[in-house]
Copies of this chain bind each other. A is one copy, B any other.
Amino acid sequence: MSKDFATREENYSKWYNDIVTKADLAENSAVRGCMVIKPYGYSIWEKMQATLDKMFKDTGHENAYFPLFIPKSFFSKEASHVEGFAKECAVVTHYRLKNSPDGKGIIVDEDAKLEEELIVRPTSETIIWDTYRNWIQSYRDLPLLINQWANVVRWEMRTRLFLRTAEFLWQEGHTAHATQQEAIEEAEKMLNVYADFAENFLAIPVLKGVKSENERFAGAVETYCIEALMQDGKALQAGTSHFLGQNFAKAFDVKFTGKDGKQEYVWATSWGVSTRLMGALIMAHSDDNGLVLPPKLAPHQVVIVPIYKTDEEFARLNEKAAEIKKSLEALNIRVKYDNRDTHKPGWKFAEYEFKGVPVRIAIGPRDLENGTVEVARRDTKEKASYQQIDLAHKIEHLLGQIQSNLYQKALSFREQNTTNVDTWDEFVNQIEGKGGFVYAHWDGTKETEEKIKELTKATIRCIPLNNKKEEGKCVLTGKPSTQRVVFARAY
């Protein structure tokens, strides 16, 4: 692992990119804005997927799969949705290529033009609600609790690996309900699932709240979100859950007959998280020595590195390491034993440090004599000598400690970077200085929100759930306000 990477201080943006590319998480592809997720990065995503998938199933959801393409006309059916989504997108216009008459390569066959263009899905509400029309007749067909794991495409002009890419991977839940109340409860339940996942797996504390009208999902009545704070003081929206009212049911004519025999439009939610979570994970915990991974999502939780001079020592270490590995695996700990003779221990130490492996165990001939190993934790960089006796349980405990330490550290950071401000000067100073979450009074209007964004690039990240009511004056206009909302610059 070369030392040729930036620190946060020097260049935060380059630091992030260096970690993503040099820790083998992802890289840009030959296709503008589309990334390649490399095996190490993908294995972290797989762990996120498996965890979330179980949480979705435990809350009664089933997976299904809907088409990649959406007929153009579908987007026009929900008025605000089309404004939000149908504009910057990949448009399929033809279904055939042919050999170029000049013999140089292939060209689009103009005889194979689609009657109606197809849009590569930026999100699937329209095609799914078009399908639900045939699936829902009576209250007995409700609730319908469906999730899809899929790729989606939004033609972003400025892209950044994981954080904003033209194609990304995500899950999108789409549920249908007989009552407004039940749909709202579903949207809130899934927000809580996301918050649980963020805090207990990603080890990232999140604010739960609702979006202002400006920031709402195109087509939603209410957008719930979880907001995380990154180390540069910028916020990152880590997941959203939308109460869609009857908007899509009306646009696609999805009605059900209630117990009382009356027909009513169906109530809807949708909710999603994406490979953007990889960006959040990287930025929340990593340091100037590279990636730091919470143990619950680390592909390798422990790496064992042997240190030896002679073949005889190597043979004995292999034996001992195999024994340790087995004892760790018996506790479902994911262990890698790296006994490649093509790389020196120092190189391996740097490599696994940069890749964020939570615990490193080094073992050498003297350890064999003493019945010890050297244990280094990635988060604090502390090293200690451990007795081999009952090592597996001690490591298991240590992994738990690392997981909670990362959360605590991120929480402290957020606490230290959360400020109440009451004047416009304070507001500007805070946003343009340290950043962080800024709680300020706002007069509740779109115009003020937009003006603040224009002046400072700060947006309302959310209005926290169960927000404290408090009389105050809008930080920009001085008009009366009943609560503080959370501002920040954001990814």
Contact = CB atoms under 8 A, between A and B. Distances in A.
Nearest to A72: B106
Interface string A102-146: 000110100000000111100000010011000000001000001
A93 B91 contact: yes
A74 B95 CA distance: 17
A84 interface: no
A89 interface: yes
A426 interface: no
Contact of A67 (B36, B87, B94, B146): B36
A165 to B, nearest CB: 10
Interface in A29-68: 29-31, 34-39, 42-43, 45-46, 62-68
A389 B140 CA distance: 37
A63 B39 CA distance: 6
B127 A31 contact: yes
B167 A67 contact: yes
Nearest to A119: B97
A16 B388 CA distance: 61
Contact of A87 (B91, B98, B167, B169): B98
A71 interface: yes
A273 interface: no
A314 interface: no
Contacts of A73: 105
Q: What is the count of identical protomers in the complex? A: 2
Contacts of A95: 88-91, 155
B39 A130 contact: no
B92 A87 contact: no
Given A72-B97, A108-B93, A63 B42 contact: yes
A435 to B, nearest CB: 32
A224 interface: no
A333 interface: no
A47 to B, nearest CB: 12
A64 B46 CA distance: 10
Interface in A362-387: none
Given A29-B127, A30-B74, A36-B65, 8 more contacts: A30-B127, A37-B64, A39-B62, A39-B63, A82-B106, A87-B98, A90-B118, A91-B94
8 contacts: A29-B67, A30-B130, A45-B65, A68-B153, A86-B106, A89-B97, A91-B93, A93-B93
